[in-house]
Structure 1
Amino acid sequence: MTEHYDVIVIGGGPAGCPAAVQAARLGARTLLVEKNGALGGTTTVAGVALPGLFHAWGRQIIAGIGWDMVRRSVALTGRELPDFTQWELPHYKLQVPVSPAIYASVIDETVVASGADLLLHTMVARVRRSSTGWDVTLCTKEGLIDLTTTMLVDATGDADVVAHAGLPRHANPNRQPGTIMVRFGGYDPKTLDYEVLDAAYERAIDAGDLVPGDLQLFTKPMHKFLRNHGENAIHVPGIEGGTSAAKTAAELAGRRTLMRVHNFLRALPGLEGLTVDRWAIETGVRETYTIDGLTRVTAVDYTNGRLWDDAVSFSFYPIDVHNHDGDGIDIRPLTFGTFPTIPRGAMIPRGSTNLVVAGRAIAGDQDANSAYRVQASCMAMGQAAGAITALAAGSAAAAVDVPIEDVRAALRAHGAIVPGDPDAPRTEAQSSSTELATPDRTHVS
């Protein structure tokens, strides 16, 4: 590990890993810093092992580094990719199930092979501007270490680096609930008496043994919850997660909720043998902070499929706002033929020249953020951030001043699909009659 880097990436989740790999492949001296013991973030540590969406209306719109890692991990486990031509299916059926263990190992190999340095079990402690970029202090097991870098990528999901740099962050007043990922076993959903179970649920709510939102839906939730073995269905409202204290509260709340649900279920007829077959060590947090960017993506921009002049990647997912009190999800599918894009300006904090944000913390309103926060979109943003910062470091330019065609050329060369290219999809006006029929679309990330 050197004392000076061209690019330091903080956060090794869906955005940070492609960012580090892309920067290193472009010849930048790159360091990737991750607080956990495994790379992959939401996919591995928070247990949402369903990356998506890489395709829109049957066409691939996100490829490149993140897609290559996902595809390779699927092949190594002998699984098959979904049939992406079946675009009329509920969106969650077009996400790509991966083995977290294999996927984490594939990321390890990809990052190391790129030439990037890697520090796990490490967090950023301090960031200060310098005449040539940034002075960065990292907190390692052996103590604090000081490094310098020309460019920084904030891929923390919480805009932690932005806050350390003294730049503003925005938080919505009603943040979406978190989810603790779990899969219950030890029972057969087809043999259960759901009228009896729903009545027991109502008694438990009245007695305070369960909290509304524990099973995601407030009214008769038992059939849906147990049919899906509780996966991606336990809402943990009232959490923030943007600070260590808030993260601690979120983890305690998540496990408290899991224990409450477990104890309730095991006391019911037919569920006496209930088991916890797997669970995620971290409670998943959907939103914390977003940045004050040069550009802000609104729901209108997103749902209209705006092609930004400085677009660097695609995104595709319905508006997917989990109600802040834990009661269900507001899902608004996109109109057929809509291909949303992500602008570079939304990734650059106002007041900074050599800091780029990738992932859910880019500038956008809550509705747009609920869609572009998902893993495939973050992977595409991360690869773009790696290209922007590597090129900026190599030319001594500000992130916003790197010619956008140079960024796009670098992305193309490394397998990404670039908005605006002749062979890339483009949103065209559609009549309201072309909106998709949407079968059960409630089991989502």
Structure 2
Amino acid sequence: MYTSIRLCLSEKEEVLMNDFDCDVLVVGGGVTGVAAATAAARSGAKTILLESKTFVGGNATTGLCLHNYITKFGRQVVFGIAQELVDRLKKIGGAVGHIPYGSFVHSVTPVDGEMFRIVSTELLDEANVTVLFGANVIGTEVKGGKITGVKAAVKGGIREIRAKSYIDASGDADVAVSAGANYTKGDRKTGKMQPVSMVLRCFGTNNQEIADSIAVSTPAMATRSDYPKPFPVYFNGAFSQWNDIIREKKIFPNEDHKVFFNTVWPNHINVNTSAVIGIDGTDPLSLSRATVELTKQLHRISQFLKENVPGFRNAYFVPSIFAGVRETRRIEGLYEISDEDVTVGRKFEDTIGQICFPVDIHDPDTGQASFYEIGDDGAFDIPYRAMIPKNVDNIIVAGRCISATSFAHGSTRNMAPCLVMGESAGVAAALAAEHNVNMPELDIKKLQDTLEERGVFLGKRVTQ
């Protein structure tokens, strides 16, 4: 079928096919892919980004916080494009910066989801990245351990896109696995994966009333240029005082259900509390079922909030338009980030950045969230080797599907680390394309020096 489609192309369409050739192909336009494609293009590489949705920005467009830039001891370790996005958002009112929060993290970085989408789109356009929306990867061509092309279903049919270097920022390792990379899915022993969720966006709220009624710790407070009075922008709570209603109406599967709130506005707020368990985010039927269940669940939650929780009386509610998947595949890389690497805050000679958000695991059976601190100075390194599949030479994986244990993945999967990995992967892929080398043979020192020049590292790297 694919061959017949190629044979039917007109001369004009064959020219278009050549436009699909590039130096670096990035698959996935979430936060990881945005950073990766921008970094590759800024490095001088002709870059194409494939995104299955009709917008870029991924989970950040739902309004979730960009966790986490600063360690529990107050040292910022996330910079580069990740910080640039926050700075640009602050200028247009879409962020309030890194706000101190005296709970399970040192500080939080809330953003406005729609403005994040706008800024991400602008960032890619300014870097001259070609973005193909509505593009789904359906396979790869591999020869001698190297990808020679990626097949994508796009408007008008199937196209083969050829690149010198490939970046898998799909979240599910779709490209790497299609090319033959080995992987683990979910917990290595049970196969269970963390539940999927959907953010509930609430408008016309009184956020101070909400915090006063439900917060279990002191909220993070911020101001805006157009609203100088401090207001709560992040807090977590529990629905314990409404357990009887929750049982009666079956709002949640468990009592004392935890809930997380964030915003950059005094009268809009995002609620992160929904969960559907037993979902495989790589199975289209399973993920579609989750989308239906979560949309219905958020409607029940919105009615519960409006009727019972102070601050929601005059609100109206909009469910996010897609389900957020926490965990699916993780590649088998040249190195696997271990539980101990996280708990001791390990540093690596081939580091490409640091992670400081604690391990965040939502129980696969109950949906309840638990947090585990990072040891040592509150940060651990991301080794370059954990992003390189063992048996595919010209691809680098970035984001939540890198090589890590299920426990370590509870930290690596978050958006600030994904931005760091994305930028590093973009620079690495551009360097590999420029020098015609495979990813495992890339000059790590050259990569690190380039990242340091761009401000991804601040000062000298820490090694042991």
Report the TM-score range of the alignment, normalised by the length of the smaller protein. Answer: 0.7 to 0.9
Native 8 Å contact 2:358 2:373 kept in 1: yes
1:212 alignment partner, one of 253, 257, 261? 253
Q: Which residues of 2 match residues 57-76 of structure 1 at below 5 A? A: 57-76=73-92
Q: What percentage of aligned pairs have identical amino acids?
A: 26
1:128 pairs with 2:141 = yes
The Cα of 1:271 is off from its aligned counterpart by: 9.7
Supply the distance in 2 between the matched residues of 1:269 and 1:115 (Cα, whole angstroms): 47
Query: How is 1:221-260 mapped onto 2 (pairs within 5 angstroms)?
Result: 221=257, 231-260=271-300
Is 2:382 aligned against 1:322?
no
- Secondary structure at the aligned position of 1:416 is classed as coil
Residue aligning to 1:386: 426
CA contact (8 A) 2:64 2:262 kept: no
Counterpart pick for 1:176 among 191, 194, 200: 194
**Aligned equivalents of 1:133 and 1:391: distance in 2?**
17
C-alpha displacement at 1:110, in angstroms? 1.2
Measured in 2, the distance between the counterparts of 1:89 and 1:238 equals: 33
Q: TM-score, normalised by structure 1?
A: 0.83
Deviation per residue, 1:304-329 (Å, 9 max, x gap): 12111211111111111111122422
Once residues 183 and 35 of structure 1 are traced to their aligned partners in structure 2, the CA distance between those partners, rounded to angstroms, is: 23
Give the aligned residue type for 1:176: Q
Structure 1 segment 240-389 matched on structure 2, within 5 A? 240-263=280-303, 273=313, 275-335=315-375, 337-389=377-429
Aligned to 2:114: 101
Structure 1 387/186 Cα, relative in aligned 2: closer, same or farther at 3 Å?
closer
Question: Is 2:30 the counterpart of 1:13?
Answer: yes
Work out whether 1:403 is the aligned partner of 2:419: no
Q: Write the distance in 1 (CA, Å) between the matches of 2:53 and 2:380.
A: 32
1:50 match = 65
Partner-residue secondary structure (3-state), 1:61: coil
- For residues 98-123 of structure 1, the C-alpha deviation after alignment (integer angstroms, 9 at most, x for no partner) is 12222211111111111221111212
Q: Retained in 2: the 8 A contact 1:236–1:257?
A: no
CA offset digits 1:231-271 (Å, max 9, x no partner): 11122222121132232122112113223334555666989
Matched residues in 2 for 1:308 and 1:53: separation?
20
The C-alpha deviation readout for 1:79-130, integer Å capped at 9, x for no partner, is 53134xx5x7225572211122222111111111112211112121221124
TM-score by length of 2: 0.80
Determine helix, strand or coil for the equivalent of 1:314.
strand
User: Of residues 125, 131, 153 in structure 2, which corresponds to 1:139?
Assistant: 153
What is the one-letter code of the residue matched to 2:196? G
How far does the alpha carbon of each residue in 1:394-433 deviate from its partner, in whole angstroms, 9 at most, with x for none?
1111101111011112212222116xx63x4679xxxxxx
The answer to whether the aligner puts 1:203 opposite 2:248 as a matched pair is yes
**SS of the counterpart of 1:236?**
coil
**Cα distance between partner residues in 2 of 1:7 and 1:104:** 22
Q: Report how far residue 373 of structure 1 moved.
A: 0.8
Moved more, 108-117 or 400-409: 108-117
**Partner SS, residue 272 of structure 2:** coil
How far apart, CA to CA, are the structure 2 residues paired with 1:322 and 1:389?
33
8 Å Cα contact 1:339-1:425 kept in structure 2: no
Which has a greater percent of strand?
Answer: 2
Change in CA separation of 1:128 and 1:367 when aligned onto 2, cut-off 3 Å: same
Letter paired with 2:153: C
Partner Cα distance (1:257, 1:43) in 2: 21
Q: Distance in 2 between matches of 1:335 and 1:31?
A: 38
Q: 1:267 to 1:336 in 2, by over 3 A?
A: same
Query: Residue 266 and residue 312 in structure 1: after superposition, are their counterparts in 2 closer, same or farther (change >3 A)?
Result: closer
Note the alpha carbon deviations across 1:286-311, whole angstroms, 9 max, x for none. 11110011100011112212111211
The secondary structure found in structure 2 opposite 1:15 is helix
Return the offset for 1:6. Answer: 1.1
- Residues in 2 aligned to 1:3 and 1:319: alpha-carbon distance in whole angstroms: 39
* Residues 36, 233 of structure 1: alpha-carbon distance in 2 compared, 3 angstrom cutoff: same
- Determine if contact 1:162/1:169 at 8 Å carries over to the other structure: no
Structure-2 residue corresponding to 1:158: 172
Conserved? CA contact 1:72–1:106, under 8 Å: yes
CA distance in 1, matches of 2:327, 2:306: 32
- Give 1:275 deviation, angstroms: 4.2
Q: 3-state DSSP class of the match of 1:231?
A: strand
Distance 2:309 2:37 in 1: 51
Partner of 1:149: 163
SS at match of 2:382: strand
Q: What corresponds to 2:127 in structure 1?
A: 114
Deviates more, 1:257-266 or 1:174-183: 257-266
Give aligned pairs, total.
408
Q: Which runs of 5+ in 1 are unaligned?
A: 428-445
Q: CA distance change for structure 1 residues 67 and 243 in 2, over 3 Å: closer, same or farther?
A: farther
Q: Which amino acid aligns with 2:159?
A: I
Shift of 1:72: 0.8
Aligned to 2:49: 32
Query: In 2 relative to 1, CA 115–231 (structure 1 residues): closer, same or farther, beyond 3 Å?
Result: same
> In 1, distance between residues paired with 2:337 and 2:79?
22
2:171 maps to amino acid: G
1:32 deviates by: 0.8
- CA distance in 1 between partners of 2:174 and 2:262 (Å): 38
For 1:106, the aligned partner's letter is V
